[in-house]
Amino acid sequence: MRRLLRRVVVDGLHRWADRLPVWASVHSGTRRAGRFAAFGEGSLLCFPWTALYGEQAIHIGRDTMIGSYVSLSAGMVPGQRLLHEGIVVIGDRCVIGRGTSIVGHYRIEIGDDVWTGPGVYVTDQNHGVDDPDLPIGVQPPAPERPVRIGAGSWLGAGVVVLPGVTIGEHVAVGAGAVVTRDLPDRCVAAGVPARVVRMLGPGESPHPSSGRTSSA
């Protein structure tokens, strides 16, 4: 009897755990979605997330899916009074991969139809390094510089996008790349630092098919 009871309890806990991500995820019409500056119809923020704050300065477009274990933040700390409401802007029909971090202090703009793989890191801020006698973590931050990722682009797994970068439209960035400078429209970039390895021709899409850039 004790073994049977234990099995019933464990099975119940497993069913509860399976359903929790569905119940706790954020979608338009939920109370949590109302905290955002905008949360478009058909969009979904999967549970659990790693960090989520400054929602009043975060805009999410329509039909966008944001994966689990994502960090999505506007401002330095929770509860901070923010200077404007458009610090992080994510467009329509985007897919933000599991474990991605989008850390905005000033302005991060992600265009429509942008997809990312897992573990991408995008930020508009960095630590200051001006005083060699102070630990980096306690130095004043460097000035924030806006980041823009153009519509229709794809960032592979583990890509890092640093402050001040503009990635053009329809750009594919290979896994593990570190983007330190602007990338033009319709190109493929890879490496550390990321460099253009080829330009996309007419009809080619940056969104991967079977792991390769493919024709639309």
What pLDDT, in 10s, does the model give residues 125-158? Answer: 988 888 888 898 888 888 889 999 999 999 999 9
- Tell whether the model's pLDDT for residue 165 goes beyond 60: yes
Residue 211: which pLDDT band, with cuts at 50, 70 and 90?
Answer: very low
- Residues of the chain with pLDDT > 70, as a percent, come to 81
pLDDT for the residue 45? 95
CA 43 to CA 41: how far, in whole Å? 6
Q: Using alpha carbons, select from 141, 69, 59 the residue that is nearest to residue 105.
A: 141
**Ordered structural domains, the chain, with CATH:** 2-202 (2.160.10.10)
Mean pLDDT estimate for the chain? 86
What pLDDT, in 10s, does the model give residues 73-96? Answer: 998 766 666 666 789 999 999 999
- Min mean pLDDT across 10-19, 186-195, 196-205 is at 10-19
CA 132 to CA 89: how far, in whole Å? 35
CA 38 to CA 58: how far, in whole Å? 7
**Residue 167 near residue 173 (C-beta atoms within 8 A):** yes
Q: What is the pTM of this model?
A: 0.83
- Tell whether the model's pLDDT for residue 212 goes beyond 50: no
pLDDT for the residue 10? 46
pLDDT for the residue 34? 92
Beta-carbon contacts of 26 under 8 Å, excluding residues fewer than 6 positions away, are 32, 33, 39, 44, 45, 47
CA angle 17, 21, 27 (to 5 degrees): 160
Among the options 59, 105, 127, 170, which is catalytic? 127
Higher pLDDT, 49 or 103: 103
Is 170 annotated in the active site?
A: no
